[in-house]
Amino acid sequence: MSRPKAVVLLSGGMDSTTTAAIALSRGFDVQALTFRYGQRHQAELDAARKVVQQLQITHHVVLDIDLRVFGGSALTADVPVPKDTPMDDIGREIPTTYVPARNTIFLSFALAWAEVLQACDIFIGVNALDYSGYPDCRPEFIRSFEMMANLATRAATEEGRKLTIHTPLIQLSKHEIIELGTSLGVDFSSTLTCYDPSAEGAACGRCEACLLRLKGFREAGMDDPGRYVSVKRSQEA
Contact residue for its own copies among 2, 86, 151, 236 (CB under 8 A)? 151
- 119 contact partners, CB below 8 Å, separation of at least 6: 4, 5, 6, 7, 31, 113
**DSSP E strand stretches across 73-187:** 121-123, 164-166
Cα–Cα distance for residue pair 212/175, rounded to 1 Å? 9
Residues binding its own copies: what is the number (CB under 8 A)? Answer: 44
Least gap, CB of 99 to its own copies (angstroms): 8
How buried is residue 80: exposed, middle or buried, by Cβ count under 10 Å (0-12/13-18/19+)?
exposed
Cα–Cα distance for residue pair 165/196, rounded to 1 Å? 29
Least gap, CB of 15 to its own copies (angstroms): 19
Is residue 170 close enough to count as binding its own copies by CB under 8 A?
A: no
* 88-127: contacts with its own copies (CB under 8 A): 94, 98-105, 108-109, 111-113, 115-116
Residue type, 30: V
Contact window for its own copies (CB under 8 A) among 60-68, 172-180, 181-189, 226-234: 60-68
Least gap, CB of 111 to its own copies (angstroms): 4
Cα–Cα distance for residue pair 23/121, rounded to 1 Å? 10
Least gap, CB of 72 to its own copies (angstroms): 4
Residues forming contacts to its own copies in the complex (CB under 8 A) are: 61, 63-67, 69-72, 94, 98-105, 108-109, 111-113, 115-116, 135-136, 138, 140-141, 144-145, 147-149, 151-158
